Every structure is written in C-alpha cells, then in structure tokens.
C-alpha cells in the first residue's frame, strides 16, 4: 500500500515531466502540452521536490535531462505505453487506425512499398501513413510514439528500440533509356567508366554509395536526395549506383544494369521500432509484412 501511495503522490505530474523531458525546451513543451511555461516549471519543481533530487540540469534558460531524469523518462514512457496498449486491446483497436511509417533510402523505400499490400491483407483496419523524416529524427520520433516503424539502411541503436535485420539489397550501376550503354550487354565496368555518373553528395574521397576508390570514375553531378539521383539516371544521360530492388520496381525498361553485379557490397535494410512491452501489435505486423515481401 505504501508503494501505491508513493506513486500516487506524483502520478499527475508525470505527463508534464515527459513533455518537458522529450523537448528539453519549456516553451515548446508548453505549446504541445497546452499549459503555460510557468505552470510547467512549477510542476517540475513539485516533482523534483517529491523525488528528492534534481531531474534536469539548468543553465540560464537551458534545461537538460540529467541521469536521474533520463531514468525516470524511460519508466514514464514504458508505463504510459503499457496503459495505452492495454486500453487499445480492451477496445479491440490495437490493429485499428493509423500505422505511422517511414523509410530512408531507395532500397528501404522499395521494400516498404512492397510490404504495404501484405500489411493491408494482414491487418485490413490499419491505415498506413508514410512520413518523411530525416534520419537524425527517427529515433526520437519512435521513442515519443510519433512513429511506429522505420525501415532504414544503417543501424539505429538505442536500448529502448528493437532493430530487426530484414534483407540485404544488392547494388549495381544502372542507366536509363537513351543512354549509349543501353544497347550493350551488362557487366563491363570498363565500358561504364567511359561515361559520366551522378552520385550522392559528399567528397569523392568518401563517396556515400561505397564506390571503390581504386576505380576512378567521372562524377558530373552530385545530389543529396537518393530519389533525385535515380531520376537523373532514368533521364538517360548519367549512370548511377542504385539498389537492384529499386530498379526492379520501376516500370519495365526504365533502368538497365550496365556494370558488374558484385562491384559494391549490398546494403542492409533494418526495421526499427520501440521495444515490445506486452503482446505484439502494429509494429510487429509491419515487420512481418516487410519480411514476407522479402520472401
């Protein structure tokens, strides 16, 4: 009974604590939580007095979680998730409503698009919503519940997140319609290197497509967006390194492989979601649909 009284004494302050802890910015938290910044500040003071130690580092107007605050945030997130998930199951809504998804990279995006019909067949009352998020925001969006599953091409590691390997995605050199190499048989790297490339941004000394530095190529255009890279290639003037999964998903004849199949290491595609605390739910349905689309 004493433990129950202890939790009850601070229970009503925990949502406000979470709002501030996840933003580390009182004005942003107050807008999202719907109360004034001064009210949030008073709530944090009451919570810290109850806990018996500071939960934030304060420097002027800056506020940042300390180690104790980070521990409490993890517990608050899990407690609120378990209550939300239990309510959804009691109301038979754990596989109903929006499934918030994102994918980073052409191979991951192609896999997600292939998984959508299978997801709809497995959970017909889920409504997938595809979001565009920069990679650096994915982990925080997952932890806050603003995202259910992310498909990515590089590891995202966090103790509160589960990362599941889905597949390896081979890559090769491709050209579009109208390119001179279109009429030649695929596989000749020497022939490919006679032509200009589009490549993902960055210095030639550290190419983002893992191009082997020992093989000199002429890069005519550098871009930041993988989709823009693919579009440049499809126009037929420049070659590009693209995932085979993406090339196969394009309309027939849009892209043709013109280089060797084993020049570059394959990409690895992972599914990332919050650690499962109870019974499997929408995140697991998405991951299983993605696995099935690989098979």
pLDDT over 90 (residue 90) = no
Q: What is the pLDDT of residue 292?
A: 94
CATH number among 3.40.190.10, 3.40.640.10, 3.40.50.450, 3.40.50.970, domain 171-265: 3.40.190.10
Confidence of residue 33 (pLDDT cuts 50, 70, 90): confident
Predicted local distance difference test score (pLDDT) of residue 87: 78
pLDDT score of 29 more than 80: yes
CB atoms within 10 A of CB 141: 17
CATH number assigned to the domain covering 97-167+268-294: 3.40.190.10
Q: What is the mean pLDDT of residues 23-27?
A: 87
Which of the four pLDDT bands, split at 50, 70 and 90, describes residue 169? very high
Would you kindly state where each structural domain of the chain is located, as residue ranges? Answer: 2-89, 97-167+268-294, 171-265
The residue that leads in pLDDT, 66 or 184, is 66
Collapsed DSSP state (helix, strand, coil) of residue 7: helix
The angle subtended at Cα 14 by Cα 11 and Cα 15, nearest 5°, is: 120
- The pLDDT of 178-184, averaged and rounded, is 89
Q: Is 252 exposed, middle or buried (0-12, 13-18, 19+ CB in 10 A)?
A: exposed
Backbone angles phi, psi at 150, to 5 degrees: -120, 135
CA 39/CA 83 separation, integer angstroms: 26
127 Cβ partners below 8 Å, 6+ apart? 97, 98, 99
Q: Quick one: average pLDDT of 57-83?
A: 87
Mean pLDDT of 73-99: 80
Euclidean distance between CA atoms 283 and 281, whole angstroms: 6
CA–CA separation, 96 vs 21, rounded Å? 29
pTM, two decimal places: 0.79
Topology agreement, domain 97-167+268-294 and domain 171-265: yes
Mean pLDDT over 26-44 rounds to: 87
Distances (CA, A) of 176 to 53, 194, 226, 256: 63, 16, 15, 6
pLDDT band at 55; cut points 50, 70, 90: very high
| Residue 67: C-alpha distances to residues 7, 71, 160 (Å) | 20, 6, 16
Nearest to 14 by CA among 56, 47, 37, 63: 47
Q: Per residue in 190-215, pLDDT tens?
A: 889 999 999 988 666 566 788 888 88
Give residue 251's pLDDT band: very low, low, confident or very high (50, 70, 90): very high
pLDDT band at 35 (very low <50, low <70, confident <90, very high): confident
Contact between residue 86 and residue 27 where contact means Cβ atoms under 8 Å apart = no
Phi and psi, residue 89, nearest 5°: -70, -40
Q: Are 111 and 245 in contact (CB under 8 A)?
A: yes
Q: What angle do CA 104, 108, 109 make, to 5 degrees?
A: 80
Per-residue confidence (pLDDT) for residue 243, from 0 to 100: 95
More confident residue, 238 or 78: 238
Q: Which CATH class is domain 2-89?
A: mainly alpha
**How far is residue 149's CA from residue 119's CA, in Å, rounded to a whole number?**
13
By DSSP bridging, strand 196-200 and strand 56-59 are unpaired
Please report the pLDDT score of residue 93 as a whole number: 64
pLDDT in tens, 256-279: 999 888 889 999 999 999 998 877
Residues of the chain with pLDDT > 90, as a percent, come to 51
In whole numbers, what is the pLDDT of the chain averaged over residues?
Answer: 89
Q: What is the mean pLDDT of residues 100-117?
A: 95
* Coil/strand/helix, residue 155: coil
CA 265 – CA 209 distance, rounded (Å): 10
pLDDT surpasses 80 at 295: no
Reported as a pLDDT band with limits 50, 70 and 90, residue 139 is very high
Q: What is the pLDDT of residue 203?
A: 66
CB contact set of 203 (below 8 Å; sequence gap of 6+):
none
- Residue 156 pLDDT > 80: yes
């Amino acid at each position: 009974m004493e433990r129950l009284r202890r939790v009850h004494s601070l229970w009503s302050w925990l949502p406000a604590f979470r709002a501030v802890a996840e933003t580390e910015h009182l004005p942003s938290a107050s807008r999202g939580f719907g109360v004034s910044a001064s009210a949030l500040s008073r709530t944090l003071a009451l919570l810290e007095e109850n806990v018996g130690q500071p939960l934030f580092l304060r420097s002027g107007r800056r506020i940042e979680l300390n180690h104790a605050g980070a521990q409490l945030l993890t517990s608050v997130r899990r407690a609120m998730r378990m209550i939300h998930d239990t309510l959804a199951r009691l109301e038979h809504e754990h596989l109903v409503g929006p499934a918030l998804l994102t994918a980073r990279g052409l191979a991951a995006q192609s896999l997600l698009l292939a998984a959508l019909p299978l997801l709809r067949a497995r959970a017909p009352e889920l409504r997938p919503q595809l979001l565009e998020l920069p990679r650096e925001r994915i982990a925080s969006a997952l932890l806050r519940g603003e995202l259910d599953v992310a498909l990515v091409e590089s590891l995202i590691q966090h103790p509160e997140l589960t990362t599941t390997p889905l597949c390896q995605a081979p890559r090769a050199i491709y050209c579009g319609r109208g390119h001179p190499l279109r009429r030649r048989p695929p596989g000749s790297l020497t022939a490919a290197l006679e032509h200009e490339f589009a490549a993902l941004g960055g210095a030639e000394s550290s190419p983002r497509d893992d191009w082997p530095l020992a093989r000199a190529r002429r890069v005519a255009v550098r871009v930041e967006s993988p989709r823009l890279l693919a579009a440049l290639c499809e126009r037929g003037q420049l070659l590009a390194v693209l995932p085979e999964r993406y090339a196969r998903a394009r309309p027939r004849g849009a892209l043709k492989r013109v280089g060797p199949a084993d020049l570059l290491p394959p990409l690895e595609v992972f599914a990332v979601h919050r650690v499962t605390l109870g019974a499997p739910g929408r995140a697991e349905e998405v991951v299983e649909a993605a696995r099935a689309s690989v098979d």
